[in-house]
Amino acid sequence: MATMREVAKKAGVSVATVSRVLNSNGYVNDETRKKVLETMDALKYKPNNVARSLFKKQTKTIGLIVPDITNPFFPQLARAVEDVTNEKGYTIILGNSDEKPEKEQRYLDILEQKYVDGIIMATNTLPIEHIKLLDKPIVVVDRAIHADVPTIVVQNRKGAKAAVNHLKGIGCQRIAHIKGPEHVDNANERCQGYLDIVGTEPWFTPEFVVDGNYTTKESYHAAVKLLRNHPEIDGIFAGNDLMATGVLKAAHELGISIPDELAVIGFDGIDMCETTHPELSTLAQPIYQIGEAAAELLIDLIEKKQISESFKEYPVDLIIRGSTKRT
Amino acid sequence: MATMREVAKKAGVSVATVSRVLNSNGYVNDETRKKVLETMDALKYKPNNVARSLFKKQTKTIGLIVPDITNPFFPQLARAVEDVTNEKGYTIILGNSDEKPEKEQRYLDILEQKYVDGIIMATNTLPIEHIKLLDKPIVVVDRAIHADVPTIVVQNRKGAKAAVNHLKGIGCQRIAHIKGPEHVDNANERCQGYLDIVGTEPWFTPEFVVDGNYTTKESYHAAVKLLRNHPEIDGIFAGNDLMATGVLKAAHELGISIPDELAVIGFDGIDMCETTHPELSTLAQPIYQIGEAAAELLIDLIEKKQISESFKEYPVDLIIRGSTKRT
DNA sequence: TTGAAAGCGGTACCAT
DNA sequence: ATGGTACCGCTTTCAA
């Protein structure tokens, strides 16, 4: 790879001049510029961004840490982040944390050493102090961890209430909840929303809340057990769509018809909702928008622009599909 | 952020010494080392990887370019790549190309300027010369583009044949194919495999091959039309699982029962196969393994290790599930 | 065992 | 309009 010095030498100018034409700032004679440009071409010169970053102290790179890119929620988010940041010349480093604080911390350290310009992170297992130690802009998505940290989330509790109310509205009498992981805030909030609505009903029992760990498989097993023990259950609100598909599977297997015997609703609004049969009702998060908003906020933070609001809570949207559409 | 100079100064040694303890090479007195280590701690010193990269000419970063991370095949692949490379101290930059040559080329340029150590790429729209111009290790996955480029793929044609033979085996008499994008090699190979088996059957007509562009939605529309025009079709081989779910939807909507009236099989083996109802038969690629193999190959290339084989073609695995399980 | 100093490939200030 | 040069933070000879 040719360096600036080589270009300068061959073109018979100084590196300063080459730098000027490269960045088109400062004065440079048209003749000279032309010659330099030609030499760059001839030498197939490409600027070395590492050197540039060293001086400028900015890498035009941002870190994106998600629990697991394999969970369909996150690719959509990542895509939005990439689209927005890429547009502005940034590139993203992707990391999976598996919700493990050590992995998160490790990535944070690495990203810091790589001098990324900012970080977008979906987590809440990490102590807030560690995040504050970072002297880089950071935006947290999906899970609010602290008022001081710029955050993009959705109205989990409100959405959960809407979900359960919808189930009640179509006539469900016994509504159960498949809950996400204990240590994940949004799982607890959604569970809380569920409890807000049915927690005081005479029929309610804590047995109606079972753990599905945000995965299809665990939800499936939990649902089979639940539905066997409690055939009276006629509505299930799953903490996310992945778990809702697990419920669908369980119902199919037990010969329970959906939505008539059992209505099912999820949360998230991932693409998969439309590929199940029946299609899955859900509380759709504006996933792409969240990613966009996070990316835009982060870039504003990086570029030290005026920040209008560093905490955004998006509403979620009740989407009624076959799994809760009774005739 | 503290720099090496600050550490050196505070510890009363030279930067060279600090560098030595940092990289544990060269001689350094135990006393001195201890003092340096302490000062590093006190100053919360973290080495600046940009500076280090500039000198070493390696960034411990690799680029991963996929068509669209939103397509469920790629997160699984990305995850494998991340797991393997991260283990060896690398970090990944993710890029979406949308199968557009300009975007691919743009990313290649950016990655080159960022001095990534190597690139893994799923594409075949890019002219081979452009790839060869790159003086960095590169591994191509999912789509073979040229014998000279290290590649990890699967036996598409063979797998497609197995899929169609399976359909025939369960008694399908009229088998159609939903095809992926024209410009994607593996889509053509799978189509070719289909034609190998049924192309010469007396009933075969080109109308039985329709385009689904590897997406659920387009496949759905194509399938609806196809099944309306040709009610005699009793088996469909879709070029990927996403399109197969589109077929499932179409069949449900048209009141065609699966698998008895219509058997459906996909290709890829993404997780989603198990969440549909009935579950989707498929030719499963060892997606995670492919990612691992690509990552390992790339790292060997980067570290200039002996390469045993630079072209690997994995077999695919016929997984029979409800969508082709006739009683 | 330690330090001085020359880079790595750019940027930007200060002269001219 | 152009050139000389110090410097970004680290690594690695070469001497001492």
Question: Which residues fall within 8 angstroms of residue A202, CB to CB, at 6 or more apart?
Answer: none
pLDDT, residue B147, reads 83
With CA atoms as reference, the chain B residue closest to A75 would be B70
What is the rounded distance in angstroms from the CA atom of residue A107 to the CA atom of residue A111?
6
Q: How far is A276 from chain B (nearest CA, A)?
A: 5
Fold of B4-47: 434 Repressor (Amino-terminal Domain) (1.10.260)
CA A310 vs. chain centroid, Å, equals: 17
pLDDT at A227 over 80: yes
Which pLDDT does position A145 carry in this prediction? 80
Q: Up-side HSE of residue A191: CA atoms within 13 Å toward CB? A: 19
CA A268 → CA A142, A241, A286, A322, distances in Å?
11, 6, 8, 16
Q: Hey, is A178 helix, strand or coil?
A: strand
pLDDT band at residue A26 under the 50/70/90 scheme: confident
Instruction: Give the chain B residue nearest A48 (alpha carbons).
Output: B113
Residues of B in contact with A96 (CB under 8 A): 79, 82-83
- Mark yes or no for CB contact A1/B135 under 8 Å: yes
At residue B127, the pLDDT reads 82
The 10 Å CB-count burial string (b at 16+, else e) for B218-242 is bbbbbbbebbeeeeebbbbbbbbbb
- B23 CA to C5 C1' distance (Å): 20
Listing DSSP states for A208-255 in one string gives: GEEE-TT-HHHHHHHHHHHHHH-TT--EEEESSHHHHHHHHHHHHHHT
Per residue, the 3-state secondary structure of chain B, as one string, reads: CCCHHHHHHHHCCCHHHHHHHHHCCCCCCHHHHHHHHHHHHHCCCCCCHHHHHHHHCCCCEEEEEECCCCCCHHHHHHHHHHHHHHHCCCEEEEEECCCCHHHHHHHHHHHHHCCCCEEEECCCCCCHHHHHHCCCCEEEECCCCCCCCCEEEECHHHHHHHHHHHHHHCCCCCEEEEECCCCCHHHHHHHHHHHHHHCCCCCCCHHHEEECCCCHHHHHHHHHHHHHHCCCCCEEEECCHHHHHHHHHHHHHHCCCCCCCCEEEEEECCHHHHCCCCCCEEEECCHHHHHHHHHHHHHHHHCCCCCCCCEEEECCEEECCHHHCCC
Q: How far apart are the first and last CA of chain A?
A: 69
Q: Please compute the mean of the pLDDT values over residues A36-40 and round it to a whole number.
A: 96
Mean pLDDT of the region A296-315? 91
Chain B residues within 8 A of A275 when measuring between CB atoms: 216, 245-246, 248-249, 272, 275-276
Test B70 with A76 for CB contact under 8 angstroms: yes
**A322 min Cα distance to partner chain B (Å):** 12
Fold agreement between A61-153+287-314 and A156-285? yes
A144: pLDDT strictly greater than 90: no
Residue pLDDT, tens place only, A54-63:
999 999 999 9
Which two tokens mark B219? 């496949």
CB of B101 closer than 8 Å to CB of B39:
no
Calculate what percentage of chain A has a pLDDT beyond 90: 89
- Can you give the residue ranges of every domain in chain B? 4-47, 61-153+287-314, 156-285
Q: How far is A323 from chain B (nearest CA, A)?
A: 13
Mean pLDDT of A257-275: 96
Residues with CB under 7 A from strand C: A 1, 3-5, 15-16, 19, 22-23, 25, 45-48, 51-52, 54-56; B 12-17, 20, 26-29, 31-33, 51, 54-55, 57
Please say if the pLDDT value at position A85 is more than 90. Answer: yes
pLDDT value at A124 more than 80: no
Residue A230 has pLDDT above 80, yes or no: yes
pLDDT for res B324: 98
First to last CA, chain B: 69
Count of A-B CB contacts under 8 Å: 129
Half-sphere exposure of A122 (CA within 13 A, CB side): 28
C-alpha dist (Å) from residue A222 to A160, A235, A244 = 20, 15, 11
Query: What one-character DSSP code corresponds to residue A12?
Result: T
Report which of A163, A135, A142 is spatially closest to residue A263, judged by C-alpha positions.
A163
Q: Which residues pair with residue B267 across a beta bridge?
A: B283
Chain C footprint bases within 7 A of protein beta carbons: 1-5, 7-13
Q: Which CATH architecture has domain B61-153+287-314?
A: 3-Layer(aba) Sandwich (3.40)
Whether the beta carbon of A122 falls within 7 A of nucleic chain D: the reply is no
Q: HEC profile for B71-119?
A: CCHHHHHHHHHHHHHHHCCCEEEEEECCCCHHHHHHHHHHHHHCCCCEE
Going by pLDDT thresholds of 50, 70 and 90, the confidence category of residue A9 is very high
Q: Which of A227, A249, A241, A254 is nearest to A281 (CA)?
A: A241
Amino acid at B123: T
- Tell which wins on pLDDT, A315 or A126: A315
pLDDT at B308: 78
Whether A301 and A139 have beta carbons less than 8 Å apart is answered as: yes
Q: What is the rounded CA–CA span in Å between residue A214 and residue A216?
A: 7
**For B25 and C14, how far is CA from C1' in angstroms?**
40
Q: Is the CB of residue A234 less than 8 Å from the CB of residue A173?
A: yes
Write out residues in chain B with pLDDT < 50, as ranges: none
**Between residues A129 and A322, the one the model is more confident about:** A322
Question: Averaged over A157-185, what is the pLDDT?
Answer: 97
Question: In angstroms, how far is D12 C1' from B15 CA?
Answer: 12
How much of chain A exceeds pLDDT 70, in percent?
Answer: 100
Res. A129 pLDDT band, cuts 50 70 90: confident
Band (pLDDT 50/70/90 cuts) for residue A123 is confident
Tokens 């498929």 identify what position? B282
Residue of B nearest to A3 (CA): B113
Return the pLDDT at A309.
Answer: 85
CATH of domain B156-285: 3.40.50.2300
Considering the entire predicted model, what is its pTM? 0.94
CA A168, CA A260: separation in Å to the nearest integer? 13
Q: Do B69 and A91 touch (CB under 8 A)?
A: no
Q: Where is A138: in which H helix or E strand? A: strand A138-141
Which tokens sit at B269? 């083996």
Q: Shortest CB distance from A93 goes to which of B68, B91, B96?
A: B91
Q: For residue B11, what pLDDT is reported?
A: 95
Can you give the pLDDT at residue A127? 82
